[in-house]
Structure formats: structure tokens, C-alpha cells
Amino acid sequence: MSTVDAACPSACSRASVDLGWFRRRQLITIGGVALAVAVFQLGASICDFSLAYALTSVPAALAWMLQNFMPTASSLGELGYVLEQTVSTVLDSVAATVIAAILGIVLAVLGSRTVGVEWGPVRGIIRAFASVVRNVPMVAWALLLLLSFKQNEFTGFLALFLTTFGQLTRFFLDTFDEIPTGPVEALRACGASFWHVVFQAGLPLAAADLMSWMLYMVETNIRSATLIGLLTGTGIGFVFQLYYNSFRYDCAGLVIVLTIVLVLAIEAVSNVARRSMI
Amino acid sequence: MAGMQLTQSAAAVVERDARGRLRTSSSKGANRAIPITLAVLAVLTVLTFARMQYGAVDLGRAALQALADARAMFLQPALDPPYGASHFTWETVAQSTVITLAVTVVCTLLSAVVSFLLALAASENLSSPAVSNAVKAVVAVIRAIPTILWVLVFTVAIGLGSEAAVLGISLHSIAYLTKSYSESFEEIDGGVIEALRASGAGFWQTVFQAVLPGTITKLLSWTFIRFEINFTNAVAVGAFAGAGGIGFQLYQAGTRYYNLHEVGVIVYVCILVAFALELVSVRLRRRYIIND
Amino acid sequence: MTQHVPLLKITGLGKSYDGPRATGQRHALQGVDTTIEAGEFVAVIGPSGAGKSTFLRCINRLIEPSEGSVVFEGRDITHLRRGDLRAVHTKIAMIFQNYNLVYRLCAIQNVLHGRLGYKNALAGALGLYTEDEKARAFELLDEVGLGEFAYRRADQLSGGQKQRVGIARALIQDPKIILCDEPIASLDPKSSRMVMEHLCRVTRQHGIACVVNLHQVDFALEFSDRIIGLREGEKVFEGTPDEVTPQVIARIYEGDEEALVDVEVAGPAPLASGVPVADVSAVGVGATAPGGAQ
Amino acid sequence: MTQHVPLLKITGLGKSYDGPRATGQRHALQGVDTTIEAGEFVAVIGPSGAGKSTFLRCINRLIEPSEGSVVFEGRDITHLRRGDLRAVHTKIAMIFQNYNLVYRLCAIQNVLHGRLGYKNALAGALGLYTEDEKARAFELLDEVGLGEFAYRRADQLSGGQKQRVGIARALIQDPKIILCDEPIASLDPKSSRMVMEHLCRVTRQHGIACVVNLHQVDFALEFSDRIIGLREGEKVFEGTPDEVTPQVIARIYEGDEEALVDVEVAGPAPLASGVPVADVSAVGVGATAPGGAQ
Amino acid sequence: GSTEGKGGAATTGSDEGSTVDKITMVWLPNESSAEFDKGREEFGKVLEKYAGVPVELMTTTDYNVAIEAIASGKAQLANMGAEGFIQAQKKNAKVMPLVTTSDTDGKLDGAKYFSRICVPADQMDQYKDDSDPTGYSIKNVKSKRMSFVSATSTSGFKVPSNAIMDAFPDEVASTDELTKPGFFSQVLFGNSHPGSAVNLLQGDADVAAFDDIDVDMYLDVPTDDRDKANSAGQVYNVKDGAAQPFDRVQGKSFGIIQSTPVLNGPIAVNTEVLPQDIIDKLLEGLTSKETASDELLFAPEDVEDSGAVWSLGDTAGFIAVEDSWYDPIRNLA
Ligand SMILES: Nc1ncnc2c1ncn2[C@@H]1O[C@H](COP(=O)(O)OP(=O)(O)OP(=O)(O)O)[C@@H](O)[C@H]1O
Ligand SMILES: Nc1ncnc2c1ncn2[C@@H]1O[C@H](COP(=O)(O)OP(=O)(O)OP(=O)(O)O)[C@@H](O)[C@H]1O
Ligand SMILES: [Mg+2]
Ligand SMILES: [Mg+2]
């Protein structure tokens, strides 16, 4: 320390001698890591999770999975049926997204800060409503609808629609909030009415982002549809469960492989679409 | 039709449609991506409704029934009689919420650590193209598989307890975070890495001294956003397999006891937790991901 | 009956913001009186925060004034309801610093937006314009020198070109007056001059009055018929460019640290072309200097 | 044994890029020979794209040279493996145009990064520096005039200050040579001069050799012991500043449209201070003009 | 509970056949729910007492898990349904039944419950068939809207599907086909026995399969003679004030057109990973009087919410059972 003082005149001697600064930083870092470890341990003990067991069983589990879930020649016989269900899942995802997007855009337009209606409560109500719809667990929507609409594709569609609707409205609200306010103001100053502003400034400015969110939702929905399908007995979720529960893991594996192929394909297509929209 | 007085070069640009009307957007080189995408989605939607199986139920009656059920669920949530049936106590609901949160914490931390390492390998600026592409491909495949399938598969492969659920949720979470993290890594200034390399710093030194400090806020934001998603997943997965928690109670209330009032209580608990998490993650996202 | 009705008569116009920000100066604008005649070109100058934007926006009620009245063509528009205001907006066009074009639409579509005030909800929303409107839009674009760029997307135009689209959009409204809020603040000197020249020429040609907020005193002096000086929300000067002496400039900008004008050094108008006052005045601190500052 | 070993001996150094870009000139650098002695201050000048950056980066193998050899302190480092290269890197420091600091860390931490090459993976990764290292970092920061800014985050420093942190980071490596790739290209003239003066002073003081890529010929002439001129990847000049005549400048920049030098107008070195050649030459086209261009 | 814990600590159980230091027992999802917490814990204690080694109880929320666990030897004991037991045995022949719950007389004869195919009471006529000894048959179910419980249920799917396959040998090749529309105009899954019953009573299905023990508490069903109560032709009403989900179908009634007895599921043991001496000790202990009179295991009749897994209204206790006793079920598969 003293060497520093000697070597380092005037200004720095006051500021720099405080090497304890480094110690404090280190303590903060160590503290952060320790906190994370402690939280992890706490969580693990609460939910009775053994990291060691989990990690050691992963290799065996993966091997077992590859062995059992690898589609076999005989499972290919089910390809037609699985394919049919997969396609229906994809179509449901698309339809749920489109319908949800139409309603979502209406709500988002009304509720957004930039183009929305000026009367405050409308905005608050729309945001609260969207937030509740979105945060109700998907399982709860499925259970609710299952009771009245019974087990069929339409029920799956409805459940998917409700969750998508909540999410898309949120994304759309954000999108509309982020469009530049200048053009909107400019159109108002021209004497444009509410709907003029929405269609001539709001939608053109937001279009690319809205589409991007929609495409993203289609992808996500295929995954969500699997869960909903398990509950409502439709689409790939249902066929997966059917094979899984009857121990025909090879056929279940076929469902997984098809899901991968499909999701990746849709991801690729929507990436192309998204890129060419900018 | 109004005769326009335009300079020659301007007149050469003006286009008219088949009926001789002035066009307000050029037919040449226009960006058709949005209309085409919209058209495709619209056609698919119509197709879906045309071939959808609507079941044997009378849709009108079912809709009314659903509204009545929704009313029971959202407006009359209760655990105790007269609406509830005392299948659950507040204590058990609170307990299982804590369990679900614990699963969420474990999944998120586990996947954050693994993803950090994978993301280093997946980032083009930190890794070799071959490794980067390989990791990205694997991650894309993992991400394509729905969480619930991972959990079910792990359930039979590993067996009981929370491990299957945690691993199943984590796998998807890892894929997601690896993508987000590596995108954050790829955004950092290549010059900084080069500077440290030029002064003789090794790989891990570069990572911890330049990459991590430069991206830590983004990483934390992404992690928290994923925490929120993981909670949702933990609820959904709890309904089917492994860890139990609030999701399992939701499932039981719904499919075993058919008590929508109790479902309502659990749903409100989930909404409350999700609200709290969302509040934080929206803030973080605004602050560090969008505006950075 | 035969009494002269000015185009725009502004009396005691004021705006105060409440809330936590309003600690010191509550009034962004206070007691401004003025009259704008048809076809006049008026420049509003003043330091940053003087209330220039507030003044302009209070005129067409993009900001609701908190006191005073705005009488447009003999009609008090200060308390008009939204619906009636639309009709007034068609007659009062506006041009913005950031152009405020819908950047995903092409130039001609942006110009046509100026017609929205005349259209019903459906036609306007769907962008169904008449052939006459379209023809006129092309002509106006051509008039500001952008005939070739009619189908170019707005975000592919340069700053000066964007502002000229903004001018065309204002013109197609067939306005009686155009309000311009720092139309050239984001432009380089060359584009600035071009935009100002276009603006000046077309307004004179079509007999449209024009109120322009400007940071560039030299441009204000060069182009306008009359100059209004604002400081801390109040009108501190009004007169012809000839009457703008260095002392006047100093009075307007006095107290604004960034824009202290050295009266001895700066010659009489016009000042060096294209250079904002802040730069000119960076030279030194003169007679009216910091003492008057607050 | 007693034979003189130069600090750096570069022989036939060349780099060619393949791929679609390589249509015309495949060689970014070709057959460059030179020798740098300990403590020397060498400036490399040349038009944009001449290969200055490539030359510098080939020396410490941030770019792998495709031909030739680099001998550092008598050891051929052209084909060293990664691990061994690390040790060499500690002796060859580098300073960049864009400073390349870790913006979220503070100045002192950035300086200490220069020590990473001497540390093992763990200590380096965790940022565990010895007290001596820290003390030295503070000294060096003070030496470049930033003692007070030690705990300031790098992104809160001005451009010139950032570059001085970069110099301190290079110095703490205890290098034998510092390579600087346009260290002042992003700075205003005043900061540029300050950075160059600091750089020149500390390298002379510590006896460190320095190779600086510069766009500013005037600075090159003013500060360096020797000047190397590159054009289209080849060395077209090497000599002392005195030997740099307008003709030499013209030869180096000849054919480069942006930097045509009017030999008649431009006087002998030093040229107007702080103004890059491109600006000086905007005056006109002189004797050696476009004919020689390719 | 403290005894419920980690799964397959004995991941590679197969090579520890002679000795065990811990017994793992797995429960099916139905018996895993919180209402049976006390009963399961008590059962664990009983096992510990007789086996002389610590017992770990594993609850499941997934049917497959229980079966995979016992078949792979990760669990030594499992409380199973008859169908699940057969499936586990198919995967590993060393899985054997140990005990099952007896009938109320303490015998094996009535150790069963009933899988029923039912239709709305007012449509019973359509299914009358004099050629059948019961007076009713399922000859007319084709192209109707069908409701099962779930694709994995024994009494709610496997048994009725087999009955249908037997009745329509030319039209249905495998039970798989019955999971999707084809033979039936529509196939619903109620996800539970009450769910399937409600599907029927609400009019969403024309025909439904469900069992007796999960549904009869909501109905006016006489309890004295179970065989008779479950015979074809019987018609039952939903009780007044029945709890959810039957609250929405109060007053509705249905009739049974076919009924098949299903054997009670066993407590199964994987003999590969549990030494014979412990198996013997467990068999002796579980079938003892003491166990049968444990009110935490077998709730006395009319006692509700005791947490016991079984009820003396249905059974008198555990009884040893031979592998061959399950042959009827085995033949269904
Ligand atoms: N929305 C607002 N809320 C509170 N105060 C505001 C608001 N908008 C403007 N002000 C204040 O009103 C005063 C005048 O602002 P105004 O924008 O009119 O100034 P200006 O002359 O246009 O300045 P500039 O040249 O920087 O554009 C300023 O003090 C400003 O801080
Ligand atoms: N990665 C690369 N791939 C292909 N060609 C490259 C690459 N990097 C540089 N080049 C080419 O090599 C030549 C020399 O580039 P270099 O960056 O060394 O020039 P420079 O003298 O540093 O120019 P400047 O003054 O603009 O920095 C240029 O023609 C450049 O286009
Ligand atoms: Mg302003
Ligand atoms: Mg360069």
C-alpha cells in the first residue's frame, strides 16, 4: 500500500488507496453465488429433488429413451393416423392464433397508449382483462371447457384460443405502445378520425411486428396444443397419450419425431416470412 | 379524369391500374410478404373450421353451461362449503404453491447454469462455427418438443419423484435460455474479446472478465423471464406427472372432484403468483432487453 | 358585417402543466396575444423551453390550452368538441420536426393522409381516395421536387425529402394556415435551406398563412414577414425582421445559458447562414450577459 | 552469440483472403519486410484498405499470416501453437481504434485485464489480482492522467479518456512492443494530440517499442522515429520523417481517390495539425494525379 | 409424509435379489391423492413392522410410472389394478400378486367390482334382446355416441372394449380402433368414472362405460346384493343433492345393459428384488386379523374422511391370491 502512496502523487492517493473496493466486489460476487446455491438447495429440499440422482440418471434415461422411443418399422403403420392428428393440431394452432389475433388486435388498438381510446378506464380494464385471461393456467381453461364442450377438437381449439388470446393481446398491446407517436399525432392534426388513425398509421406501423408475433404464436401453440390435447383428448397430445399409456413407446416416439419435424419446418417458414416483412 | 401536370420524370413514375385509375402503391417490387402470409393463415383457418370435429354437444347449450361454470370458477371461488367441499385446506394449497415455486426455482437455476455453458459453445464469436452450429441444431430440436412430452418421457425413463418433472421442464428451459443467452453473447463487441485475446487472456478469463460483465444484466433478465414461463410449465406439468404441487391439485379439483369453486381458488392463486412474476419480468425486459 | 376578420386571433393564450415537474415555472405559456392574417409568414423564435412548441400546439389544440382563446376565421375554436375540431384541423395543417410520416407507407400514401380529414370513416380507413385527390397528390409531390419518389417508402427518403413529403401532406389539406414546429431542426444546412425555400414558395403561391417555430434566427430573418419572440412562455418581441436588432435577439435569448449572444460581436441580421444561434453566440459574453440570467 | 537480435524481424509477410470477395486484389498484404528495434516509435501510414490493420494483426497473429515470418526476440512466432502464443501476447500489447474496453467494468478493472495473460485460468477468471498488480494499475492510470477516474465505469469516460485507459491496459502487460491500430481515429483533434503525447511519452519512458497505424500523416511525422508507407498491401516507403516529401506522400496515397494530394499546394511536413490527409488533399489534383491511379 | 420419498434409489435393483436394506412401494395415481395420506402412511408402518426393513412409499401421478417401477424393480411392491398388474407382468414375469382385498365375507368369490355398459333409462328398449339370458345386449351400440373413462382404464375401457369386440368380431379388430370414431359415431373419454357417467346422463353420449364403486355413491343403488344390483336391466336414479359433477344431472336415470365383473387388483411384488423370506413374512402379516382390524387401513362402514384407503363396507381385509386367479383378466388382453 505504502508503495502506492509513494509512487502516486496528488489526486490518486485519495481515490486509489482504497483497495478494499476489490474486496467488496469479490464479496458481492461470492455472496451472489452463495445466495443462488442456497436458494437452489432450499428449493431442492422443498420439492425433494436430488441433483445427484437427477444427473446420474440422465445418461441412462437418455439411452433408455433412445432405445424405447425410437420409432420402429411397425410403428410406421400408425404414420397415417398420427400424421392426420398432427395436421389437425397444426391447423387448430393456426386457427386459434388467427381468431385470437383478430380479437387481440381490436383490444390492443382500443387499449394502447398510442392509438387507443383516450378514456383512461377502458385501457385499464382491457389490460386487466388480458392479464387475467393470460394467467389462468392452460390446464384450468381446458378443464373448464371440457366439462361443457366435452371431449372434441373444438374444445381443444377453444382452450388454445383462450390462452393464445391472452398472450397475443399482451404482445399486441406492447407492439402498439411502441409504435412512434409522431405519425399518429400528425394524422390527428390532419383531422383524421379514430379509425383513420388506426388503419392508416397504427396498423401499417405495427403490421410487421404483429405478424411476427402471430407466427411466433403459431409455433408456440403447437407445443401448447400438445398439453391441451392431453386434457381434451385431441390432436397429437391425445395420440401421444394413447400410445404412451398403452406402452407403445415406439409409436409415441413417432409422434415426437413428427412434432420435431413439424415445429422446425414451421419455424423455418415463419423465419423466412418474418425476414421478408421488414 | 383530372389531367395532371407533372414533370416528365415524375409522369414516367406514375402507375395506373387496369381501369386506368391512379395507383397509390407501386406494383413493382412491393413487399408482398405480409399480404401473402395473411392470406395463407386465413385460408388455413377457414380450412380448419371446415374440417373440425365439433363433437356431439349442442354448442349453444354448451356455451351457456361453460359460462355458468366460469361463473362458479371465477365468481365463487371457495375451498369450504357451501361452494367448496373441503378437499383442500388453505394450508395444503399454500404448501403446494411453495412446492411448485420450488420446482420452478430449481429448474430455472439448473437450466441457467447449463445454458450458460451451452451458450458459450453456441455463440459464433466465442466458439468455432462447427461447434456453434451443432449446439444450435441440437437446441432447436430440443426446443421443438413440447415440455409435457419431455416430462412424460423422463417420467418413465427415470421414474418417480420430482426429478423427472424438473429435468423435463429444464430441458426445454435450457434450449430457450441457450438461444437467448447466445444471442446476447453474440451482440457483444467483438473488439473487446479481441483486445483481451491480444493481451494473452485465455478463454475462461475472457468469458468471465469481458463476456459475463458485458451481458450479465441481459442474462439475468432472460433468466427471470424464463422463471415466469417455468412457473406456468410447472403448474401444467404438475397436473400430469412427477412433482405434484399446485398443478396436481388443480387437476384433482377439476377431474376428480369436479369442484369448480375449488378450481377457482387454485386458479386465483396461480394468477396471483404469475402477476407478481410478470410485474418483475416486464420491468426487467423493458429496462435491459429492449432498451439496451 | 364588413368588419375585417383576421384569419387567426389569439388572445391571452396560456398553458400550465401541473404535477411534480411544475416546481419553478408552472407556466409553459402565458398570456400570448397575436393575430395572423391570411397568407402571412410568421416565425416564432426563442430559446429551448420557451414554449414555442406549446404555443403552436395550443393553436390547433393538440395541447389543450389552459387559458385564453383561439379564434379561427371568426370562430372561437378553444372549446370545440372533438367532432367539430376535426373540421378545423383540415384547415390548419401541421409540419413536424421529425416529419412524422408513416414510414412503412410510400410517399404518395403519406401525402394522401392529408385528405383524411375530409373523408368518412370507412373510405379513409381503407385508403379509398378519389382520382382527383390522387392526381393532386402527385402534382404536389412533384411541386416539392419529389415526383419521381412517389412510390418510394417513406423510410427510404432522406431527411430533407421526408420533410418535403410533410409539406405536400400539409398542402393537400387545402389549409388556410400551416403550423411548422421546427421543420428543419433535424436537417443539415443544405437540406434546411431547400425545405425552407420550398415551404416559403408554396405557401406564398397558394396564399396560405404559415407559422414556423425556428431555432435558426438567420432563417427566421431571411424568410418571414413577421417575427414573434418567446421567452419563458411569454411573448417578449413581435415585429418585422428589420426590427430584430442584436439587442432584441439578446433579450429573447437572455438568461438562456446555452444561447448567450455577444451583442458587440454579432452583427445585425442576417447572421451567418445556417448556423443556429447557440453556435454563433458561443463566441463570448457581451453587454447583456449573465447578470440578467435566472 | 553476440550477434544483434532485433526486437521484431518481419520477413516477406503476406496475407491473402480467398472467397467471393477476392475478385480483384487477392492480397491484403504482400511481401512486407521490416525490422523494429527496441524502444522505436514507428508509424504506418497508407490509404484506407492499404493493409495497415492486416499488417499489425499479422504481427501478433490476431490474423494468421498466409506467408512470411515474424521473429520476435529471436524466436519465430509464425507457427506457434495457441498455448505458446499466449505467452508471446503478454509481450506484445495492442491498442485499438474503438478502445475495446469492457464498458460495464470500471477503469481500473479494464487496466487490470492487461495482467490476465500472466494469470492462471481460475485467478484470471475470478479477477483475483495481487496487491502489487493493483497498485501498479493505479500508478499507470495516474500516469496517463486518470488517477481520479479509477472507479469510473468505462462507458462514462470520454473517448480520449477511454483510449488512455487502453494505453494503461497495454502498459501493465509489461510489453516489449505496443501495436496501435489507429488509436486516435475516433477522437477529436484535441483528444488525439493528448493521446498521442501520452503514448509517445510513456513508451519512450518505459523503453517500449511502438508501431502505430495512422491516418493522420501530420501526427505520424511529428511523433515517430520511422515511417512505413503501405499501399495496396505492399510497402512503398520506409524512412525517417525527414525523408517524407510531398512526393512520397503522393506515392503512398496515389491512386486512392479519397486522398489525392496536391503536391504543389501541400507544403512539406508537418502538415496542418490534426487534419487527416483526406481533408488536406481535397484542395485539388496535382502533378501525380489520376494518371497513376489503378 | 416422512415415509414418502425418493423414487428408485435402487435403480439397478435386479442384482440385489437376496438382501434388501429398504423396500420401495409404489401407489397408483388414484390411491396417491392427499385424502389417503394417513392410510398410506399406516400401510407403510405395517409393512415395516412385518418386513423388518424401512419402507419408502412412492406416490405417482402417472399410471405408467407405477407399472414401469414395479416391472423394472425400482419398486419392490406396488398397489395395482388387475389390468395394470397384467401389464407389469408382461414386462417382467417376476411380478407376482401377493394379496388382494377380499369380499365382505373374507372370501375371494366377491373380490371384484363391476364394469358396466349403460344407456339412458328411456332408451333401454332399443337394447332389449330376448335371445340373451340377461334380456339385454349390446347388439345395438354400433354408430352410437360412446363414452369411455380413459384409454387405460380397465373397467372403463379394456373390459367394455373386449365385450364389444366379442359382440362384433367382424367389425372391430382391436380395441385401439374404439378410441377413435369409426365403429362409434363419436368417442368420448370422461377421464374418470363419474365423468363418463355424466357424459351419458347429460345426453352427450348414447352409451357409456363406467364401474360401480366410483359412481354408486351418487346414485340410489341398493347395497345388499351387489351381483343383482349390477345385473343388466337395472335402472338407477341420481341421488337428490348429489355432489359435483352429478349436481348438474340430478333426477336423471340410466339403465345397465351389460355388466362384467372385474377382479380386485393385487398388492403386487417383484420377486426378483424382494427376498422370499420377506415376501413370506409380509404375506403372513398382511392377511392377519390384526391388519384387518386396523381402522386406519380399513375404515369402518359409515366412517368418512378417515384417510383409510379401503373400507370395511367393501372388504373384510387382505387375502392371499394366486397368479392364476387373474387368468380371466389375462385372457382379455
Ligand atoms: N407534457 C409536459 N408536462 C410538463 N411540462 C411540460 C410538458 N411539455 C412541455 N413542458 C414544459 O413546458 C415548457 C415549454 O416547452 P416547449 O416544448 O413548448 O418549449 P420549446 O420552446 O418548444 O422548446 P424546444 O426549443 O426545446 O422545442 C418547458 O419548460 C417544458 O419543460
Ligand atoms: N476478413 C476479410 N476478408 C476479406 N478481405 C478482407 C478482410 N479483412 C480485410 N480485407 C481486405 O484486406 C484489405 C486490407 O484491409 P485492412 O483492414 O488491413 O486495411 P487498412 O489499411 O487497415 O484500412 P483502414 O484504413 O480502412 O482501416 C482490404 O482490401 C480489405 O478489403
Ligand atoms: Mg419544441
Ligand atoms: Mg484498419
Report pLDDT digits (tens) over A163-203.
899 999 989 998 998 888 889 989 988 888 888 999 999 99
d(CA E195, CA E205): 11
pLDDT for position E310: 83
pLDDT(D260) > 70: no
User: From the CB of C53, is ligand 1 less than 6 Å away?
Assistant: yes
Predicted confidence (pLDDT) per residue in C70-81, tens digit: 999 988 998 888
CB contact under 8 A, A147 and E245: yes
Distance between Cα D97 and ligand 2 center (Å)? 14
In this prediction, residues B176-188 reach a mean pLDDT of 92
- Residue E106 has φ and ψ, to the nearest 5°, of 80, 20
Just give the CATH number of A77-277: 1.10.3720.10
| Torsion angle, alpha carbons of E27, E28, E29, E34, to 10 | -30
Burial class of residue B280 in the structure, from the number of CB atoms within 10 Å of its CB (0-12 exposed, 13-18 middle, 19+ buried): middle
A67 vs E: CB within 8 A: no
CA distances from B164 to A171, B113, B203, D15, E288 (A): 32, 18, 34, 54, 38
pLDDT for position D170: 93
Residues of D in contact with A21 (CB under 8 A): 151
| H or E element in which residue A202 lies | none
Least confident of A241-255, B175-189, C4-18, C253-267: C253-267
What domains can be seen in chain C, in order of their start residue?
A: 1-91+179-294 (3.40.50.300), 101-174 (no CATH)
C and A adjacent (3 or more CB pairs under 8 angstroms):
yes
Residues of C in contact with B32 (CB under 8 A): none
Higher local confidence (pLDDT), B268 or E212: B268
User: From the CB of C138, is ligand 1 less than 6 Å away?
Assistant: no
d(CA A219, CA A200): 29
Ligand nearest to the CA of C230: 1
Predicted confidence (pLDDT) per residue in E234-277, tens digit: 889 888 877 777 877 888 899 999 888 888 889 999 998 888 88
Q: Ligand 2: which of D15, D30, D54, D96 to mutate, judged by most atoms within 8 Å of the beta carbon? A: D54
User: Phi/psi zone of residue B48: left (φ > 0), alpha (ψ -120 to 50 degrees), beta?
Assistant: alpha
Residue B155 lies in domain: 90-290
Distance between Cα A232 and ligand 1 center (Å)? 58
Nearest CB to B5 within list C105, C139, C149: C139
B88 vs E: CB within 8 A: yes
d(CA C185, CA C182): 5
Under a CB-based contact definition with an 8 Å cutoff, are residues B52 and A154 in contact? yes
d(CA A202, CA A183): 9
CB contact under 8 A, B201 and D98: no
> What is the average pLDDT value for chain D, to the nearest integer?
82
- Most confident region among A64-78, A207-221, B75-89, E295-309 by mean pLDDT: A207-221
In this prediction, residues B209-215 reach a mean pLDDT of 89
Those of residues 111-130 in A touching chain B at CB distance below 8 A are: none
What CATH number does the domain containing B276 carry? Answer: 1.10.3720.10
3-state secondary structure labels for all residues of chain E: CCCECCCCCCCCHHHCCCCCCCEEEEECHHHHCHHHHHHHHHHHHHHHHHHCCCEEEECCCCHHHHHHHHHHCCCCEEECCHHHHHHHHHHCCCEEEEEEECCCCCCCCCCEEEEEEEEEHHHHHHHECCCCCCCECCCCCCCCEEEECCCCCHHHHHHHHHHHHHHCCCCCCCHHHHHCCCCCCEEEECCCHHHHHHHHHCCCCCEEEEECCCCHHHECCCCCCHHHHCCCCCEEEECCCCCCCHHHHCCCEEEEEEEEEEECCEEEEECCCCCHHHHHHHHHHHCCHHHHCCCCCEECCCCCCCCCCEECCCCCCEEECCHHHHHHHHHHC
Report CA A40 to chain centroid distance, whole Å: 24
Nearest CB to B10 within list C106, C109, C148: C148
How many residues would you count in chain D?
Answer: 294
Kindly list the partner chains of chain C, i.e. chains with 3 or more CB atom pairs below 8 Å.
Answer: A, B
| H or E element in which residue D271 lies | none
Peptide bond preceding D270 in cis form (omega within 30 of 0) = yes
Instruction: Write the residue with the smallest CA distance to atom 11 of ligand 1.
Output: C28
User: Residue A20's closest chain D neighbor by CA?
Assistant: D131
pLDDT(B40) > 50: yes
Helix ranges, C180-244 (H):
189-206, 217-223
Which residues have CB under 8 Å from C214's CB, separation 6+?
Answer: C43, C44, C45, C182, C184, C220
Tell me how close the Cα of E184 comes to any Cα of chain B, in angstroms: 12
Higher local confidence (pLDDT), D268 or E255: E255
pLDDT for position B256: 74
Those of residues 89-128 in E touching chain A at CB distance below 8 A are: 91
Residue C97 forms beta bridges with which residues? Answer: none
User: From the CB of C51, is ligand 1 less than 6 Å away?
Assistant: yes
Residues of A in contact with E150 (CB under 8 A): 245
Which of these, A37, A42, A53, lies nearest to B163 by C-alpha position? A53
In this prediction, residues A54-64 reach a mean pLDDT of 87
Instruction: Name the pLDDT band for D257 (thresholds 50, 70, 90).
Output: very low
pLDDT(D179) > 90: yes
Number of domains in chain B: 1
Which of these, B156, D284, D106, lies nearest to E60 by C-alpha position? B156
CB contact under 8 A, A50 and E189: no
Under a CB-based contact definition with an 8 Å cutoff, are residues E256 and E117 in contact? yes
User: Residue A198's closest chain C neighbor by CA?
Assistant: C125
Nearest CB to B199 within list D89, D102, D105: D89
Residue E165 has a CB neighbour count (10 Å cut-off) of 18
Angle at E263 between CA E258 and CA E264, to 5 degrees: 125
pLDDT(E64) > 50: yes
Q: In this structure, which amino acid lies at residue B95?
A: Q
Return the C-alpha cell found at C112. 394522401
Higher local confidence (pLDDT), C1 or B117: B117
Higher local confidence (pLDDT), C96 or E188: C96
Q: Does B144 reside within a domain?
A: yes
Under a CB-based contact definition with an 8 Å cutoff, are residues B247 and B234 in contact? yes
For chain A, the domains span: 3-59, 77-277
Predicted confidence (pLDDT) per residue in A89-122, tens digit: 999 999 999 999 999 999 999 988 888 777 778 8
Residues of A in contact with D139 (CB under 8 A): 4, 7-8, 12
Nearest CB to C121 within list A182, A188, A193: A193
- Most confident region among C248-257, E119-128, E236-245, E309-318 by mean pLDDT: E119-128
Least confident of B111-115, B243-247, D249-253: B243-247
Predicted confidence (pLDDT) per residue in D127-139, tens digit: 888 989 999 999 9
Under a CB-based contact definition with an 8 Å cutoff, are residues A229 and B240 in contact? no
Instruction: Write the residue with the smallest CA distance to atom 2 of ligand 1.
Output: C17
Predicted confidence (pLDDT) per residue in B254-266, tens digit: 877 778 899 999 9
Complex-level ipTM = 0.78
User: Residue C115's closest chain A neighbor by CA?
Assistant: A190
Under a CB-based contact definition with an 8 Å cutoff, are residues C142 and C172 in contact? no
Predicted confidence (pLDDT) per residue in D23-68, tens digit: 554 688 999 999 999 999 999 998 888 889 999 999 989 889 999 9
Higher local confidence (pLDDT), C201 or E332: C201
Q: Does B62 reside within a domain?
A: no
In this prediction, residues D167-185 reach a mean pLDDT of 92
Least confident of A47-51, B215-219, C58-62, D273-277: D273-277
Helix/strand number for chain B, H first, E second: 12, 0
pLDDT(D294) > 80: no
Closest atom of ligand 2 relative to the D233 alpha carbon: 14
In this prediction, residues E161-185 reach a mean pLDDT of 84
SS3 assignment, position B228: helix
CB contacts < 8 A, A to E, total 37
Instruction: Write the residue with the smallest CA distance to atom 29 of ligand 1.
Output: C49
E14 vs A: CB within 8 A: no
C131 vs B: CB within 8 A: yes
Distance between Cα D82 and ligand 4 center (Å)? 24
Instruction: Write the residue with the smallest CA distance to atom 5 of ligand 1.
Output: C17
pLDDT(B131) > 90: yes
Nearest CB to C109 within list B2, B6, B24: B24
User: From the CB of C288, is ligand 1 less than 6 Å away?
Assistant: no
CB contact under 8 A, B163 and A57: yes
Q: Burial letters for D79-89: b for 16+ Cβ neighbours within 10 Å, e otherwise?
A: ebeeeebbebb
Higher local confidence (pLDDT), A205 or B57: A205
- Residue B28 has φ and ψ, to the nearest 5°, of -90, 135
CB contact under 8 A, E62 and B252: no
Angle at D50 between CA D49 and CA D53, to 5 degrees: 80
| Torsion angle, alpha carbons of B121, B123, B125, B128, to 10 | 40
Tell me how close the Cα of A192 comes to any Cα of chain B, in angstroms: 18
d(CA D182, CA B141): 45
Predicted confidence (pLDDT) per residue in E132-145, tens digit: 888 888 888 888 88
pLDDT(E178) > 80: yes
Closest atom of ligand 2 relative to the D182 alpha carbon: 27
pLDDT for position E297: 84
pLDDT for position E265: 87
CB contacts < 8 A, A to C, total 89
Low-confidence ranges of chain C (pLDDT < 70): 1-2, 19-26, 255-294
Which amino acids bring their CB within 6 angstroms of ligand 2? D 17, 21, 28, 46, 48-54
Angle at E66 between CA E65 and CA E68, to 5 degrees: 65
Instruction: Write the residue with the smallest CA distance to atom 13 of ligand 1.
Output: C28
Distance between Cα D53 and ligand 4 center (Å)? 4
User: From the CB of C49, is ligand 1 less than 6 Å away?
Assistant: yes
